[in-house]
Amino acid sequence: MKELHIISFNYPYPPSYGGIIDVYYKIRALSDLGIKIHLHCFVDQIPLKVDTEVKEITEHVFFYKKKKNPFLYFSRIPFAASIRDSEALFKNLEKIKAPILFEGLQTTHIIRQLKDKEHQLYLRHHNNETEYYKGLSLSEKNIFKKIIYSIESLKYKGYQKKLLKKFETVFCLSEKEYNEVKAYSENAQLIHLFHGNQSVKQLDKRGKYFLFHGDLTTSDNKRALIETIDLFKTLPQYKLMVASDRASEDIKKRISAVENISLTPIQTTENLHQLLENAQANILISYQNSGTKVKLFNTLYNSRFVIINGNITDDPVLMNLCLFGSNMNEIRQQIISSAEKDYLNTEKRKEILEETHSDKAKAEEIIKIIFKN
């Protein structure tokens, strides 16, 4: 039986945001194809139990507490990587000889211990971390956080260039990251996001509202929502639903001050899918150019119109399935236009997405590369 270590930056359940969605559904797709997974997770607090949904797709699950030492901010290693270090992880990797897949550069601090050992090392490159933290710094209002993100961006600049060549393959999420890695290393491979969707939903021609959903603790999503709220102030004839479990008091006040905007919790995947199924159109905006956002797949598989700006995806196939606005004025026009249209693109989406973006096909490609079969 083929075995694989996967080192995750967090516990991948529930699969409720960005990178963790990719981790969870990748594990599920690999497990479905017969790969025995040894999962290693860095967490703030070790869970009391492993969820059934994770147990059934893994052979072992190991937990390691992230370090809480503030002096690690002064290390030359990026803070997100230096807090994810564990002697127990090294011992567990040594016990079971199998290839190792690192989920993101923040899980790679242990490589310095593995360099003289015989290990096959692979990386899932979730972000160009230099650009990611630079984007967070630009979006952040808190001056202290702005400085921290800026320093982290500079640290990653050298860290990722030095490390990326150490892997047998770097599995990139997007065309942009694939081209960046390929420019100075020959080990880049493009494997698009794992998203967990099986088939495109057949929906009625019309929905009831516009939907904005996301993790509102991130500065990029907060900025995008504030811009969207300001937009819907000028469009009182249309209803905007904001779906999030993590809205700050400031965001709640902004929403409650506008009559045609309301906030609703997500809580479960089923709730999110219901919100998507009832939406006429989805507003997806980002100010970070970091490849395809995972929530794009949820909207394309489970909802109607999807209105995006240029940072939501760099995949031309996916862009052609969306309504595009290069600025907020163009986004506004797409809102007005889509509000009056019947949604008739289900068959087109089915044909394209199920052929080019199925999780099973992506897992088969990873297995072929790691196990050389």
Asked whether the predicted pLDDT for residue 291 surpasses 80, the reply is no
The angle at the Cα of 77, spanning 71 to 78, to the nearest 5 degrees, equals 85
State both tokens at 140: 């952040």
- Output the CA–CA distances (angstroms, integers) from residue 190 to 106, 187, 344, 353, in the order listed: 20, 10, 31, 16
Report the C-alpha gap between 30 and 108 in whole angstroms: 21
State both tokens at 57: 């797709």
Share of the chain above pLDDT 90, in %: 69
Half-sphere exposure of 134 (CA within 13 A, CB side): 13
Mean pLDDT on 225-236: 97
H or E stretch covering 178: helix 175-184
Asked whether the predicted pLDDT for residue 18 surpasses 80, the reply is no
State both tokens at 311: 């940072």
CB of 204 within 8 A of CB of 304? no
For residue 14, cis peptide bond before it (omega within 30 degrees of 0): yes
Domains and CATH numbers, the chain: 3-195+357-370 (3.40.50.2000), 209-354 (3.40.50.2000)
Identify the band that residue 233 occupies on the pLDDT scale cut at 50, 70 and 90: very high
Mean pLDDT on 38-64: 97
Identify the band that residue 214 occupies on the pLDDT scale cut at 50, 70 and 90: confident
> Which segment of 48-52, 133-137, 233-237, 272-276 scores lowest on mean pLDDT?
133-137
The SS3 call for residue 27 is helix
Mean pLDDT on 312-327: 93
Q: Tell me: the pLDDT tens digits for 73-99?
A: 888 999 999 999 999 999 999 999 999
Which residue is listed with tokens 């090294």? Answer: 90
Mean pLDDT on 28-41: 98
Report the C-alpha gap between 3 and 59 in whole angstroms: 9
Mean pLDDT on 332-354: 95
pLDDT of residue 126: 87
Phi-psi region of 372 (alpha: psi -120 to 50; beta: other; left: phi over 0): left
208 phi and psi angles, rounded to 5 deg: -105, -20
Report the C-alpha gap between 359 and 313 in whole angstroms: 18
Q: Tell me: the pLDDT tens digits for 90-128?
A: 999 999 999 999 999 999 999 988 865 678 999 999 888
* pLDDT, the chain, mean: 92
Kindly give, in sequence order, each residue whose CB lies less than 8 Å from that of residue 263, ignoring residues fewer than 6 positions away.
Answer: 242, 243, 244, 247, 251, 252, 255, 256
